[in-house]
Amino acid sequence: MDSTFEIDDSEKETYLTFCKKCYSDTYHSVVLNYKKRIREDDSYGNSYRFDQDNQVVQCMGCMNVSFRVVECCSERSEYDDETGQFVPCPSTVEYPFRDAKLEIDLNTIRYCPTEIQNAYNETIIAIENKQYSLAGLGARLIIELICNDSDKWSLKYKLLDKKEKLNLSDEQYKMLDSIVVLGNKAAHKLIRPDLDVLRVSICIINSYLKN
């Protein structure tokens, strides 16, 4: 087995992907590429190929720096009807993860108490790192912290108390309560919320904190 490693800063590849700072799809350029190559041939004429590109990339809009790993392995391939050959299928992972595409309202959050800011930021980090069960617990914690000024004995009655004091509509109350239920299911029934539900939860929290 032959393994080679090479640093390449000559590539000027650009590609379109989501930028967390710009909060939109923008073009990114590859600034530096650390290449790993593995080659192995056996006595029967079979060959194994593995390519890994560890890339430092930069948004061409805001200039934010992030990372991308592109892997291509001869063992992961698909049949190409046009050529009649098996073609390797590359896989790409970007760091930090950017699949979530969350609407983060930092202007509102910075005026919240420190406890709420911490819970909000940690919940966002959990979502972005695909730790959805922890994110469900975090979303519930935010609601509990919002209701902390109530003297009621349980979160259910604290939320009802908040509804009465702030004159929340039934719909607004139901949306906040749905986040509590989400967290309870994650904690007590090990039901992992999906990304779309968590996106909606963050939007509900943003709207409540803003208004």
Q: What tens digit of pLDDT does each residue of 173-186 get?
A: 899 999 999 999 99
Residue 65 has pLDDT above 80, yes or no: yes
Tell how far CA 18 is from the center of its chain. Answer: 11
pTM to 2 decimal places: 0.67
- Measured N-to-C along each axis, helices 195-210 and 132-146 cross at an angle, to the nearest 10 degrees, of 20
Residue 50 is classified by DSSP as E
> How far apart (Å, rounded) are the C-alpha atoms in residues 9 and 55?
10
Q: Read off φ and ψ for residue 209, nearest 5 degrees.
A: -65, -35
Lowest mean pLDDT among 28-32, 79-83, 133-137: 79-83
Q: Which long-range contacts (CB under 8 A, 24 or more apart) does 149-154 make?
A: none
Question: Where is 6: in which H helix or E strand?
Answer: strand 2-8
pLDDT tens-digit series, residues 118-128? 999 999 989 98
Mean pLDDT of the chain: 88
Residues 6+ apart with CB under 8 A from 140: 179, 180, 182, 183, 184, 186, 187
Residue 43 has pLDDT above 80, yes or no: no
